[in-house]
Amino acid sequence: MAQKKFMLSEEDIPTRWYNIVADMPNKPLPPLHPGTKQPIRPEMLAPLFPMELIKQEVSTEKWIDIPDEVREVYKIWRPTPLYRAHGLEKLLDTPARIYYKYEGVSPAGSHKPNTAVPQVYYNKQEGIRRITTETGAGQWGSALSFACQLFGIECEVYMVRASYDGKPYRKIMMNTWGASVYPSPSDRTAAGRKILAQDPGSPGSLGIAISEAVELAFQSEDTRYALGSVLNHVLMHQTVIGLEAVWQLEQAGDFPDIVVAPFGGGSNFAGICFPFLRYNLEEGKSIRCIAAEPASCPKLTRGVFRYDLGDTVGMTPLLPMYTLGHNFIPAPIHAGGLRYHGAGAIVSQLLKDGLIEAQAFKQLECFEAGIRFAQTEGIIPAPEATHAIATVIREAERAREEGTAKTILFNLCGHGHFDMGAYEQYLSGKLVEHEVTQEEILESLAELDTPTIP
């Protein structure tokens, strides 16, 4: 029986994060002030983030040390295992070798604690007492609640109303880790009250919840805000995934031709891909890095590259991003973590420069891929992760047709244990197919009055 699982020991947890900005041929464009439309100075972010994270956000240093206290917490679940997908390969009858890095072993069940822990740590170092955030389906809110509890910081989570009502288990997880969770829009903020005045029954959105959390951080001296994706420092924290995978594939005597990850704002994609992309940028290798996004929220494949806001009300800086427009409300697909209108500045620049690729998938193909994976490999993937699996299956089938023995690596970014409702719908044939129309995209983009990028 061929080897299946590649493990590292605690001493092998990376000691530094990889900052791809140092190696990018074109650096990401600067964020702009939403009012003046001028580049913002790093100090202007101080009401929102601790200084150390702001430094990381604008850093061009290639390697940033991971604090010992953070590595200690990482030891709870890191290093994470890398598996060879012998079962899936056999089912697909492909000459491709398929590997996956499993991030679902973290306490919150996804890759998100990789950044929640350092973010909370730096806030604690700077004497912050409370952190506010938003959450959609609850993955980020639960990761941050876990990290806040460990470091003794208060955590206040604004959870999109539709998920708060429809998916109570993630909320209870957050409560278990001591966080306060409020349905958004709430009457606790001016942003929330404004939305409720227009629509008392508003189901909420990620953009509205961000506005609420940001408003509260701006208002108090001892409170900061935390974001679970998109920003440069968040992407960098996730590179522990790919750095470990490089060593694990070395153990396996292999090296990838293709690296795949699902794409929401870009953090787990960056996490697994950037340490491999480094070989393309430094050594001229030609690994294909593919971002897998949903056809109902296709910012990378059908959005535009321009400045846009991160939230609905307009309190965040303008970021250079592939976007569908900050008022775009994606259909309620089950991959809640992929329902964000924009992509991070770094990933957007890399896509513009042709250094990474993107593909969009409809949810039926994704769930079918997820079931095939669960039945051959055992692990039930998060709906987000099934987008990567669908990509891998297409590439593995292509390898079979072409008769080429490609090596494919993907990020299994989380388990799907809280998504049984979605699996039930798929299995009973009730899951609806969805793809956004060109009219809907054009309508949303037509509302944008933010600066364009030549």
The two structure tokens encoding residue 285 = 């290798």
Residue recorded with tokens 């409020």: 182
112 binds ligand PLP (CB under 6 A): yes
Is residue 110 close enough to count as binding ligand PLP by CB under 6 A?
Answer: yes
139 binds ligand PLP (CB under 6 A): yes
Q: Where on the phi/psi map is residue 253: left (φ > 0), alpha (ψ -120 to 50), or beta?
A: left
Q: Which range of residues in 59-67, 79-87, 257-265, 322-330 is near ligand PLP by CB under 6 A?
A: 257-265
Bond preceding residue 185 cis, omega within 30 of 0: yes
Minimum CB–partner distance for residue 307 and ligand PLP (Å)? 20
For residues 65 and 208, the answer to whether their CB atoms sit within 8 Å is no
Least CB distance to ligand PLP at residue 392 (A)? 15
Among 156, 212, 308, 384, contact with ligand PLP (rule: CB under 6 A): 384
Question: By C-beta, is 131 or 413 nearer to ligand PLP?
Answer: 413
- Longest CA–CA span in the chain (Å) reads 63
Residue 293 C-beta: closest distance to ligand PLP, Å: 9
Region of 60-68, 208-216, 260-268, 389-397 interacting with ligand PLP (CB under 6 A): 260-268
Tokens read off for 136: 């959609």
Q: Is 178 left (phi over 0), alpha (psi -120 to 50) or beta?
A: left
* Distance from the first to the final alpha carbon of the chain: 55
Q: Does 267 bind ligand PLP (CB under 6 A)?
A: yes
CB of 447 to ligand PLP, least distance (A): 24
Residue by residue, DSSP assigns 39-63 as BPPGGGGTTTS-HHHHHHHH---SE
* Residue 229 near ligand PLP by CB under 6 A: yes
Query: Are 257 and 288 in contact, with CB atoms under 8 Å apart?
Result: yes
Instruction: Please identify which residue in 73, 292, 413, 448 interacts with ligand PLP, judged by CB under 6 A.
Output: 413
**323 vs 48: CA distance, rounded Å:** 23
| Residue 194 dihedral angles phi and psi, to the nearest 5° | -65, -45
Of 192, 256, 262, 370, which lies in the binding site for ligand PLP, with binding defined by CB under 6 A? 262
User: Which structure tokens are listed for 197?
Assistant: 């005045």
Could you give the C-alpha distances from 336 to 137, 340, 383, in angstroms and in order? 5, 9, 8
**How many amino acids of this chain bind ligand PLP (CB under 6 A)?**
19
* 264 contacts ligand PLP (rule: CB under 6 A): yes
- At its nearest, how many Å lie between ligand PLP and the CB of residue 384? 3
Question: Which of these ranges, 160-168, 266-274, 391-399, 443-451, lies near ligand PLP under the rule CB under 6 A?
Answer: 266-274
Q: Does 263 bind ligand PLP (CB under 6 A)?
A: yes
Asked if 298 touches ligand PLP (CB under 6 A), the answer is no
Does 337 participate in binding ligand PLP (rule CB under 6 A)? yes
Stretch that binds ligand PLP, among 93-101, 120-128, 188-196, 258-266 (CB under 6 A): 258-266
Are 67 and 118 spatial neighbours (Cβ–Cβ below 8 Å)?
yes
C-alpha to C-alpha distance for 135 and 19, rounded to whole angstroms: 26
CA distance 209 to 182: 10
Q: Minimum CB separation from ligand PLP for residue 263, in Å? A: 5
Residue 192 as a binder of ligand PLP (CB under 6 A): the answer is: no
Smallest separation, CB 217 to ligand PLP (Å): 20
Distance of closest approach, residue 435 Cβ to ligand PLP, in angstroms = 19
> How far is Cα 126 from Cα 124, in angstroms, rounded to an integer?
5
If the CB atoms of residues 139 and 444 are measured against ligand PLP, the closer one turns out to be 139
Residues that bind ligand PLP (CB under 6 A): 110, 112, 139-140, 229, 262-269, 337-338, 382, 384, 413-414
